[in-house]
Amino acid sequence: MNADRTNTSLDHFETVARRTVETLPHAFRAVALDVALRVTDWPDAEMLRDLGMTDRLDLTGLYEGVPVTEKSVFDQPLGPDMVWLFRQPILAEWRQRGDVELDDLIAHVTIHEFAHHFGWSDADIARIDRWWE
């Protein structure tokens, strides 16, 4: 991996994330396309506060919304469900790890956050995803 030749722009992150969603199996992709996707440099202070976090480098992505497994036709949505990707924390993790391609890490964070949209908890994801080992 060569950081000098790796595109680290916000646009690149968004392109990789959208491409990742497009490669989901049809049944998942159809539901995922209803979710807004935002890529920004940092999580805001309110997000961190709501999660009880103090170090903004610890949050690489966030799902905001009601998982499809909990939605009801009687609920009135306040806005679209949203997946956030935070570029600077992802870049920091990528540099620290040194053993993964940046696009793979972006795709991994994207899938992790969309898994929350599909109703998976962090514990559910950890049982099948050995990424962090």
Pick the CATH number of 3-67+77-127 from 3.10.129.10, 3.30.2010.20, 3.40.50.880, 3.30.70.2190: 3.30.2010.20
Which residue type is seen at 124?
Answer: D
What does the pLDDT look like over 41-56, one tens digit per residue? 999 999 999 999 999 9
- Domain positions in the chain are 3-67+77-127
Percent above pLDDT 70 for the chain: 86
Entry pTM: 0.85
What does the pLDDT look like over 74-107, one tens digit per residue? 666 677 899 999 999 999 999 999 889 999 999 9
> Which spans in 24-70 are helix H?
26-32, 45-51
